[in-house]
Amino acid sequence: MNRDKRQKRTTIYDLAELAGTSASAVSAVLNGNWKKRRIGSQLAERITKLAEEQGYAVNMQASLLRREKSKLIGMIVPKYDNRYFGSIVETFETMARERGLFPIITCTRRDPELEMEAAREMLSYQVEWIVSTGATDPDRVTDLCAAAGVRSLNLDLPGSKAPSVISDNFAGSRELTRRVLVNYERKLGRKSPLLFIGGRGSDHNTSERIRGFVAAHLEMGIDVDGHHILACGYAPEKAEHALEALRTEEGGVPMGMFVNSTISLEGVMRWITRSGHTGPMAPTLGCFDWDPFVALLCDDIEMVRQDVPAMLASVFEIIEAGSTTGSLVQIPPVFVTSC
């Protein structure tokens, strides 16, 4: 009877026996609908006390099996190595919990197969929603979910088959580019185009940001060099190598840059340091993303911070409304006036 090392967990049947009552009474009391099920308040109190004493915890597996709703919500996220995704995850967890949902989060390291595998696993756990964040192929996840009758939603990168919440990449990028162009002109003493670096040309965000980048140049009467748009991928090394490759070419590397994420910025900074472009040689920068140390330590940089709280507020609005259309919500990012 007494709790041993390898004991079985306390169940409602154990409590029922201890309380000299039935399992259904115990169940009713512990999940709060004992009033509806007309259990006397004295018995209720006795059961509650016993449960506490015995350290009882529901077996969610059993409970969820029986119930119709699981209250589980899944999120797929590419990486935990930057502030943007970190705050997405943290905010998501908090907001899910506030709504009585249990968040399950999985990091897929930008691996398309792992994304699908993780989604499949979440479906096994009977999640009610899957939020695909920055997924390489959101529509595949949506299809998988749809086949299982589970709702899904895209965050950060849009898909065509489920509602998507993303930053307003075009407007954000145009404004960021404008600001960097102004800084660059002030520094050089003349107008000159920027280099665009980072991201994948095939993803919506990158192409929208390129569109904004080009628009801002146009508006300021500056020609863009197509050859200076390097959507070389997200990994730091890719940005570093791309710059290094450019250096040996004719014209070299422009000393004004639009960097497409903090991850790419890491590579850019590495290149800057290694190639000795520091101090007065330092390039004029803009970064579509935010990092506190960069904001503090780098003086010639403009950063846009994606509005994570607003994005997730929108995500949960959609979830609460239960919408499934392929709508696209674009959240304006915030310009950080570096301290």
Partner in contact with 247, chosen from a second copy, DNA, none, beta carbon below 5 to 8 Å by kind? none
- Where are any strands of DSSP class E within 9-128? 72-77, 102-107
Partner in contact with 89, chosen from a second copy, DNA, none, beta carbon below 5 to 8 Å by kind? a second copy
Instruction: Using alpha carbons, select from 161, 151, 82 the residue that is nearest to residue 316.
Output: 151
Please tell me the distance from the alpha carbon of residue 36 to that of residue 24, in angstroms, as a whole number.
Answer: 13
Please tell me the distance from the alpha carbon of residue 203 to that of residue 166, in angstroms, as a whole number.
Answer: 12
* Closest separation in Å from C-beta 48 to DNA: 13
Q: Which two tokens stand for residue 291?
A: 């990092």
Does 300 bind a second copy (CB under 8 A)? Our answer is no
* Closest separation in Å from C-beta 214 to a second copy: 28
Does 3 bind DNA (CB under 7 A)? Our answer is no
Read off φ and ψ for residue 75, nearest 5 degrees. -135, 135
Q: Which two tokens stand for residue 186?
A: 């002030």
| Interface residue with DNA, options 42, 202, 248, 337 (CB under 7 A) | 42
Determine the residue type at 149: G
Please, which of residues 67-86 interact with a second copy by CB under 8 A?
70, 79-83, 85-86
List beta partners, residue 165.
155, 329
Partner in contact with 30, chosen from DNA, a second copy, none, beta carbon below 5 to 8 Å by kind? DNA
- State how far Cα 222 lies from the chain centre: 34
Partner in contact with 43, chosen from DNA, a second copy, none, beta carbon below 5 to 8 Å by kind? DNA
Does 13 bind DNA (CB under 7 A)? Our answer is yes
User: Could you list the residues that contact DNA (CB under 7 A)?
Assistant: 8-9, 11-13, 20-25, 27-28, 30-31, 33, 37-40, 42-43, 58-59, 62-63, 65-67
